Amino acid sequence: MEDIKSLLLQCPVLAGLPVEGINEAVQIVRARHFDEKALICSKGAQHSSLMVIAKGSVRVNSISSKGKEVTLMIFEAGGWFGDNVFSPGMPRIFGATAHTDVTLLELPGDKFRQLLAKYPQSYPVILDLLSRRLWSAISVIEDDAIRGIEERIGRRLLLLAEYQHNRPISAQSCVVKVTREHIANMMGLTRQSVHKVLKKLENSNILRLQYGSITILNPLKMEAYLKQLE
């Protein structure tokens, strides 16, 4: 139970709950394990719950009727998903798949909403996080409409860094767990065009490419570089 409590205390969306609220959250949590590539939830499903990633990573996606998957985001341990828990009765707007073997802490929607109603001081934190996600979605739409490929890829990497590490970017280097194939799928680009841009950024000493991940050497420096391209 202490391990679960520690994990919940680190989750941003629960940061507004007092200690007694976290203790009550521990009582309603259900731990669930999924093997790599296993379906966690489907787009359009009515079931709502908040999912906190305890271990591993999750790929949030949209899958067409023909089975084609488009990756929307990759969350790491400490991240959360299940936004429809805040809109009971609304279907899920995306699905989720285990990107690696993953352990989730599931908080059932009805019990979680009762917990929030009991501790309304948690709402400002949640509203801030939801507005940030809305801002991120609008920024992606804007990027696709008006920015060049290098800017789009760079800005998407910075966005992934923020969500995977659950904190704003800084001058400290950070590792983004994503492959060139996933970036291409996520952005509707070819693997070749993504590789070309990433190699250019690597040659400019902005990032370092590794198998299965990309290290941004100085995210603030990268952000400044991308602004020069506008």
What are the pLDDT digits (tens) for 139-180?
999 999 999 999 999 999 999 999 999 899 999 999 999 999
Q: What is the mean pLDDT of the chain?
A: 93
Strand order in the sheet with 174-176: 174-176, 213-216, 207-210
Quote the CA–CA distance of 201 and 205 in Å, as a whole number. 6
Quote the CA–CA distance of 37 and 42 in Å, as a whole number. 13
- Structural domains present in the chain: 2-122 (2.60.120.10), 147-228 (1.10.10.10)
- For residues 28 and 105, the answer to whether their CB atoms sit within 8 Å is no
Residue 33 pairs in a beta bridge with 103
Q: How confident is the model at residue 230 (pLDDT cuts 50, 70, 90)?
A: confident
Supply the pTM of this predicted model: 0.89
**Closest alpha carbon to 187 in 162, 164, 154, 217:** 154
Angle at 128 between CA 114 and CA 30, to 5 degrees: 40
